Structure 1
Amino acid sequence: MPDLDYQKQAQEYYGKAPVIIMGSGASAAYGMSGMGALAQHLIAHTDVSGLSEPELDAWKHFCQVLDSGVDLESALHQVATSEDLTSRIVRATWSLINSEDLEIFQKSLQDSEMFSLSRLLEHMFKSSLRKINIITTNYDRLVEYACDHIGIHHFTGFTHGFFRQLTAPTSLTPARKVNIWKVHGSLDWFQSPMGDTVALSNIPEIPSDYKPQIVTPGTQKYQKTHLEPFRSIINHADQAISDAGSYLCIGYGFNDEHIQPKLMAKCLRQKTPITIITYALSESARKLIIDGNAHNYLAIERGETDDQSIVYSSLNEAPVTVDMNIWSLEGYLSLII
C-alpha cells in the first residue's frame, strides 16, 4: 500500500470530526504509571492497619495473586475485598496517580508545547466545530491541562471554580468547548461529608472526611458506576459515541465494558470509521477491530523502534511497515495537519 493511501485514509476519517477516546496509553507517554507499577505501589503503600483478620487474610491473598504475575484488574476480580479495604486501595491508588499528575502539571508550566493533544484540539477548532467530545478511562487531568494551555473551556460535569458542583452541560455555553467524559472518575472528584460529589482542583492530599470518586478495577466497579455522577457521565459518553461521525482512539486498549458495546455496534453495524494510534495494539483491539468485522479502520502501532510504525488498514489485506513515527499522537498529527 503506498504511503499516500493511509495518509488519505487518516485525513478522510479525521475530516469526520471524530470523538476522541483516550486510554491509559495516552497518559503512559507522559510517564504515568500503568497497571503493573500501580500493583506494586498498592502492595507497598496500602494502609492495612486495624483491619479485621478476614480482611487481612483477603489482603494477603490479593498480594500473593499479584506477586504470581496476575494483572491488577484480574486480581481485584478474583479476591473479594470489604468496603473498608476497597476504600484503602482507592486511597493508595489516588495518592500515586495524583502525585504523578501534579508533577506533570508542574512540568507543563515550563513547557507550553508539552501536550500534542493541545495541537490536535486547536486544529479541530479551526473548522466550524464548536464542541469536541473526549471520552477517557483515565483518572488524571492531562486532557484538562491540554485544554487550558490553548485557552479552551472544558466541561467535566461540574461548575467552574475551586469548589465545583455537578451541573448540566448546558450551564456552560462558551463559543468553543471540550466535553471530557471521565467514565471511571477523576482525581479531583470526591464524595463530600454530605454524601454528594464535588470537584476540588489540584490538591496534594485527600481532605478529611472526603472520599476519592475514582473507580478501580474489580467487582466494585460495576456497583459504583450505577451511581451518580458515573451514571450521568456514562450516559453522556454513550450519546457522544452514538452521534459520532468517526472515532480517534489514542492509547486505548478496548478493554472497557462502559465504552465497548456502543462503540463496536457503531463500527460493525453502521461502519463508522475508526482510527487507532497506540504504542502496542492490545489483544482486544486486534480481536475486535482487525480480526473482527470492522469495515472502516486504520490502526497504527509502534514498530521495532520509535521511528517505525506498523499500519493496519481496512483498505489493505496485510499490515504495512513504515519507517517513520506515525503511531504516537505527535506522529499522527504529521498525517493530518
Structure 2
Amino acid sequence: MDKCVEGDEFDKIIESVKVKYLSKPHLPKLIIGSGSSITFGYPSMTNLSEELHENLKENEDFKKIYPDIKAKGLEHGLQSLNSEDELITDIRRVTARFILQHEITQEENIYNSNCGLKKLIKYLSESVEVNRPIVDIMTPNYDRVIEFLCDSLGVPVINGFLGGATGIFNADLLTGPQNFYKMKRPPNKYVRLFKPHGSINWSKRDGEILQVHDNRRLLQEIDRIEIITPGGSKYEQGYNNIGSVAKFKEVK
C-alpha cells in the first residue's frame, strides 16, 4: 500500500477491493494487520521479544519459555500460557509500555502522513452509500494508527465508546450506530472500528473497560491497559473482548 501507487491505477485497485469485499452485508469488511503499524516504526514481534527478554530475563517462568521464543518466535513461545498465568500480566505490562512510549513519539508523524492506508480510508469513506455511510474496519493491532489517520481526515470513529477525556463503552453504539447518529444526511461518513485484541488506550477499572485519551495517565496506570497478549490466551480472551470477532460479524 505504501509503494506509491497513484492515479488511475490506485483508483482501479481500490474500486476492485470495494466491489469484491465491501459490498456484502454482514461479512467482515476491511481487516488491517500489523504491516500498517510497522511502516510507522512500531515494534515487530522480534522487537517485542527482545523488549520482553530485557525486562523479564530474571523471571523464572519467562526463562522456561524463552528458548522457544528465541527459536520459534513469540507467538509460538507463549502458546503454553493461559490468561490466568501471572506471567501474562507481566508480559501485558511490558508490551503496553513499549508500544505506548513509541506511539507518543510518533503520533504527529502518523497524523500528518500521506500513507497508502490513509488514502484507502479517504477513498472508501467518500464512496460509501448515502443510506449506510460506514466503513467497517477490524484490526488486531493495539495501536491507534487508524484512529489518528481518521482524525486527520475528519472521519469520526465509532468504536462503542462515548465520552470526552474518558469514554464509557456502550455495545449499542457499536452494533447499531444508526440509532445514535444521523447517518442519512451527506456528508456524514464514519469508520466503525473493531479491535478484538484490545487497544493501547483501553483501561480496565472495577471490571469495566474505559477509553482514556490522556497518555500520561495511561503510562501511570500501565497495569490496567486492556490488551490481549500473543499466544494461546488470545483466542480465549478475544472471543469475549468487547471488540470481538463475533461482534464484528453480527453488526447491522
TM-score band by shorter chain is 0.7 to 0.9
Give the whole-Å Cα distance in 1 for the aligned partners of 2:21 and 2:191: 13
Query: 1 CA distance for matches of 2:92 and 2:116?
Result: 30
Would you say 1:64 and 2:91 are equivalent positions? Answer: no
Which runs of structure 2 are paired with 1:113-152 in the superposition (5 Å)?
Answer: 113-129=113-129, 130-152=133-155
Corresponding position: 1:176 with 2:180: no
Residue aligned with 2:229, SS: coil
Q: Tell me how large the CA RMSD over aligned residues is.
A: 2.9
2:196 partner letter: V
User: Residues 18-65 of structure 1, C-alpha deviation per residue, up to 9 Å, x if partnerless?
Assistant: 3221111111111111111100100102486xxxxxxx4322112232
Query: How far did 1:79 drift?
Result: 5.3
- Say whether the 8 Å CA contact 2:128–2:135 is kept in structure 1: no
Matched to 1:163, the amino acid is: T
- Do residues 33 (structure 1) and 19 (structure 2) align? no
Work out the CA distance in 1 between the residues paired with 2:83 and 2:100. 23
Q: Matched residues in 1 for 2:83 and 2:194: separation?
A: 28
SS in 2 for 1:225: helix
| Residue 154 of structure 1: aligned partner | 157
User: How far 1:104 sits from its partner (Å)?
Assistant: 1.7
Note the 1:1-337 alignment, pairs <5 A: 11-16=15-20, 18=22, 19-46=29-56, 56-67=59-70, 69-78=71-80, 83-108=85-110, 112-129=112-129, 130-167=133-170, 168-169=172-173, 170=177, 172-174=180-182, 175-192=188-205, 194-204=206-216, 205-208=218-221, 211-230=224-243, 233-239=244-250
Q: Which has the higher contact order (CA 8 A, sep 6+)?
A: 2
Matched residues in 1 for 2:231 and 2:164: separation? Answer: 33
Distance 2:167 2:82 in 1: 34
2:127 partner SS: coil
CA distance in 1, matches of 2:11, 2:119: 18
Whole-angstrom distance in 2 between the partners of 1:17 and 1:77: 32
Residues 207 and 227 (structure 1), Cα distance of their counterparts in 2 relative to 1, 3 Å cut: farther
69-78 vs 11-20, greater mean Cα deviation: 11-20
User: 1:79–1:179: structure 2 CA closer, same or farther, 3 Å change rule?
Assistant: closer
C-alpha distance in structure 2 between counterparts of 1:81 and 1:184, whole Å: 13
SS of residue in 1 equivalent to 2:215:
coil
Tell me how far apart the structure 2 counterparts of residues 108 and 120 of structure 1 sit (CA, whole Å). Answer: 15
Return closer, same or farther for 1:80/1:119 CA change in 2, 3 Å cut-off.
closer
C-alpha distance in 1 between matches for 2:14 and 2:189: 24
Greater fraction of residues in helix: 2
Q: Cα deviation per residue 1:131-177 (whole Å; 9 max; x = unaligned)?
A: 00011010000000010001110012211311111112226415211
Residues 200 and 57 (structure 1), Cα distance of their counterparts in 2 relative to 1, 3 Å cut: same
1:123 shift after superposition: 1.9
- Give the 3 Å change call, closer, same or farther, for CA 164–8 of structure 1 in structure 2: closer
Aligned-pair CA distance for 1:5 = 11
Aligned length: 225
Q: TM-score, normalised by structure 2?
A: 0.77
Q: Which has the larger radius of gyration?
A: 1
CA apart distance, 1:16: 4.9
Q: Call closer, same or farther: CA 1:84–1:74 in 2, change over 3 Å.
A: same
For normalisation by structure 1, the TM-score amounts to: 0.59
Identity, % of aligned positions: 22
